[in-house]
A = this chain, B = another copy of it.
Amino acid sequence: MHRTKVRIVEDALDANNTIARANRDDFDRNGVTVVNFMSAPGAGKTTLLERTIADLGDVRAGVLEGDVEGSMDADRLSALHVPVTQLNTASGFGGECHLDANMVRSAIPELPLADIDLLVIENVGNLVCPAEFRVGEDIRVMVTAVTEGEDKPLKYPLMFRACDLVLINKIDLLPHLDVSVERIEANVEAVHPGVPTMRVSARTGEGIDEWRDWLVRTAAREPAGAPA
């Protein structure tokens, strides 16, 4: 019974990877660099995009916004005059807890790929399943908020291992928390040695220039490297 279940899941992931490669081909053909942007609910993904996405110099950015329901984040980002496409996962049963390659594939006809250089796919807020489903991205970025505590890398290691950059957000709240940002960084390093991290505050703007520069370099397909 258990073996059967695992087999079905592996088949689903295999089919997902096939579709993800097709998505990636479409993105590559249009010269669009794609970032899969992931975090727990409320870690600040949308606010971090609001602070950067409309101000990337020559880089023309677009956003594909994944949510179980609603279009609140898409509405916020549309106000910045970048193209935003909404993808809701609530069809089917109670709502999928992640984006998969086929959902993204269904959105591709709606994406202005010829007019953008960078596409940020804002995933559903979840630290488990989004890490398991590639959607055709070039690179994966995750956000962890210091308010979530120090132990998240140890409790959700797959997510931290799957990503190419970890943004540690809400650092303006550190004086009011019993949380050490050094301990968060050490726990990230423990589960994903060498992965770059950046301390940021979407609220105060601290660290936002570095995050913006990283997005610009990524869109230009320069080697991202570790932050200075």
Contacts and interface: CB of A to CB of B under 8 A. Distances in A.
B128 A95 contact: yes
A152 interface: yes
A33 B149 CA distance: 30
Contacts of A124: 128
- Chain B CB within 10 Å, residue with most, of A42, A132, A170, A173: A42
A206 to B, nearest CB: 14
Contacts of A13: 93
A69 B148 contact: no
A135 to B, nearest CB: 16
Counting every copy of the chain, the complex holds 2
A68 B155 contact: yes
Interface in A21-35: none
A225 B40 CA distance: 31
A151 interface: yes
A147 B128 contact: no
Given A41-B152, A72-B155, A178-B203, 12 more contacts: A6-B92, A10-B93, A41-B127, A41-B156, A42-B145, A68-B156, A72-B151, A94-B129, A94-B158, A96-B128, A126-B127, A172-B176
26 contacts: A5-B92, A6-B92, A9-B93, A13-B93, A40-B40, A40-B41, A40-B42, A40-B125, A41-B127, A41-B156, A42-B145, A42-B148, A67-B155, A68-B128, A69-B154, A69-B156, A70-B151, A72-B155, A94-B129, A94-B132, A94-B158, A97-B97, A124-B128, A126-B127, A126-B128, A145-B147
